[in-house]
Amino acid sequence: MERVIALLREKNHCLEKFYWLNEQELINFGTGNFDSVDEFYQAREQILTQIQCVEGMLAEISARPTAQVTVVLREEAAALLKSKDEVVKSILAQDLQILAYIEKEKSNIIRELRANKQAKRAVGAYANTERMRALEGD
């Protein structure tokens, strides 16, 4: 059971790293800085890979027959699982904020592209009018 406790602590540690990574990137996104979005997603993927590894080890241990578990170890495991649930809820809330920032930036980019396209059309129409005037003057 001590190994399970150690793995639960490791999983919570990974989740807390994930949480703080999100917090830092939320600050960047909040200021409109999306320059490190690729690195952000890579770092998240690395942490998720670590979590999957820990979960795999927990699954292996849970498949084995276990000895009698003490009340203290059971309470510690329950506290670690409760802590995990709280961190996961916080991460889910962060992810909603991250998605909102990304969606807002995506909308801004689409608006800018449309404005650029309209500006190019206007310049093209103006240039075409000037060419027609020049040809008429010949």
Which positions ≥6 away from 23 have C-beta within 8 Å?
A: 94
- Residue 77: its pLDDT value, please? 92
Instruction: Specify the higher pLDDT residue, 113 or 19.
Output: 19
Number of domains the chain contains:
1
What residue numbers bound the domain in which 109 lies?
2-137
C-alpha dihedral, 70 to 1 to 11 to 93, nearest 10°: -30
Residue 71 sits in a domain whose CATH number is: 1.20.58
Give me Rg for the CA atoms of the chain. 27
Q: Tens of pLDDT along 60-114?
A: 988 887 777 788 888 999 999 999 999 999 999 999 999 999 999 999 889 888 8
Question: What CA–CA distance (Å, rounded) separates 84 from 16?
Answer: 9
- Residue 111: its pLDDT value, please? 87
Place of tokens 């093209």: 124
Segment among 13-17, 28-32, 63-67 with least mean pLDDT: 63-67
| Side-chain-side CA neighbours of residue 30 (13 Å) | 8
Reported confidence tier of residue 25, pLDDT bands at 50, 70, 90: very high
The H-or-E segment that residue 43 falls in is helix 37-63
Write down the pTM of the prediction: 0.76
Q: Tens of pLDDT along 109-132?
A: 898 888 887 777 767 666 666 666
- Residue 116: its pLDDT value, please? 82
| Side-chain-side CA neighbours of residue 88 (13 Å) | 10
